[in-house]
Amino acid sequence: MDLKGFLAKNGLGILAAFAIAIPSWILVKSIDGMEVIGAPIVAILIGMVFAMVIKDRSRIANGTSFTSKYILQFSVVLLGFGLNLATVASVGVWSLPVIVTTISTSLIVAYMFYRILHTPANTTTLVGVGSSICGGSAIAATAPVIKAKDDEIAQSIAIIFFFNVIAAIIFPTLGNILGMSDEGFALFAGTAINDTSSVTAAASTWDAMHGLDHVVLDQATIVKLTRTLFIIPIVIALSLYMAKKESNGENLGRNVRHAFPMFILFFILASLITTIVTSVATGDALSTAETLFSDLKTLSSFLIVVAMAAIGLNTNLIQLVKTGGKPLTIGFTCWIAITVMSLIVQHFMGAW
């Protein structure tokens, strides 16, 4: 298909997603406190409202489907440019016991809901992975692998961001009540809050409360980046599971190759490029590279918002509300379990 044919088929839907994403992005950036909510959730909500009033969505369906799938995957690739593996290895490794424990806890809780209460498989997986790793980014990486529908993605994103907002608001006060050290709260925020924007909001609030100059913010961000790396093994494991499930014991090798998420390989490559370039470059070259990688990371965040707008346009809000009881319970249980487990492991580590 040539460019003209592609635009004729997909252009209107892509344009609609950008038309929602741009004001959502500007709104969050321009109003104090909106960072806690985040542009992705704003874009999803606006998209769902428009979906209710647009009588004929067939003209934008192809474009929004393209955006919610391929632009979402591209945003995950660009996310890799924000990961310096050397920094993670040298500074973030101390947080691994808490990260591994909280991720395992969330996944086990989600699996128990699926097995015992027979909750929807895709939504349960997305909520479990989103709660345990890094919210929207983890959901964005996982959704294509398990072939999740847009309404399942939207529901999972909404649930994750709801508890992110609560955590960002109450965790600084909770940390004070518990008598946490600065390092302890950085570890707590980085492991028990999912989305980067909410981690940033909570850590910045702690710095402001204690008269610190980005000390906790910097540490919490590194912990969050370390946690983000777990997208790789989780997504690979899910792709292998899906390949095995679809093979029924036949042509497993072919199904594995077909199901393997290539965008994760590009995500890893982007991380390696960032790590190598920032390790060998010096002076103006290093400054230029860091600016470029920062811009690519910002572009990744924006494209996630575009994809979320498309997902909102493809989602039936009324149906979402009707079926939201069990997924909300999963999200709440995972959130509480992660919070408690993070505190317990930190206590035994002496991190407070």
pLDDT at 1: 64
**Residue-level pLDDT at 93:** 81
Q: Distance from CA of residue 135 to its chain's centroid?
A: 3
Do residues 221 and 94 touch, judged by C-beta distance below 8 A?
no
Written as six digits, the tokens of 129 are 């992975």
Q: Nearest-5° angle of CA 159, CA 46, CA 126?
A: 25
Structure-token match 């982007």, residue found: 270
Q: Tell me, what's the pLDDT at 100?
A: 92
Task: Give me the residue label for tokens 């990260």.
Answer: 99
Q: Compute, in degrees rounded to 10, the torsion defined by CA atoms 278, 280, 282, 288.
A: -40
Question: CB neighbours of 39 closer than 8 A, spacing ≥ 6?
Answer: 21, 24, 25, 27, 28, 29, 301, 302, 305
Q: Residue 48 in contact with residue 158, Cβ under 8 Å? A: no
Q: Quick one: pLDDT at residue 260?
A: 66
Calpha distance 119→210 (Å, rounded): 43
What is the chain's alpha carbon radius of gyration, rounded to the nearest angstrom?
Answer: 20
Name the helix (H) or strand (E) containing 178: none
Question: What CA–CA distance (Å, rounded) separates 149 from 314?
Answer: 9
Interatomic CA distance for residues 349 and 181, integer angstroms? 13
Distance of CA 122 to the CA centre of its chain: 16
pLDDT of residue 110: 93
Cα distance between residue 178 and residue 170, in whole Å: 12
Q: How far is CA 100 from CA 73, 199, 230, 338, 340, in A?
A: 25, 18, 9, 11, 14
Cβ contacts of residue 197 below 8 Å, gap of 6+? 35, 36, 38, 164
Residue type, 213: D
Tell me the average confidence (pLDDT) per consecutive run of 10 residues in the chain, 352 residues long.
83 95 92 77 90 85 90 89 83 84 93 88 92 84 88 88 86 92 91 84 88 85 86 87 70 57 86 93 92 92 92 82 82 93 88 66
Q: For position 247, what pLDDT does the model report?
A: 64
Q: Name residue 313's amino acid.
A: L
- Which SS3 state, helix, strand or coil, does residue 349 take? helix
Give Cα separations from 296 to 39, 172, 177 (angstroms).
17, 30, 39
HSE of 64, CA atoms in CB hemisphere, 13 A: 27
Tell me if the pTM is above 0.75. yes
Half-sphere exposure of 216 (CA within 13 A, CB side): 27
Q: Which two tokens stand for residue 333?
A: 């249980």
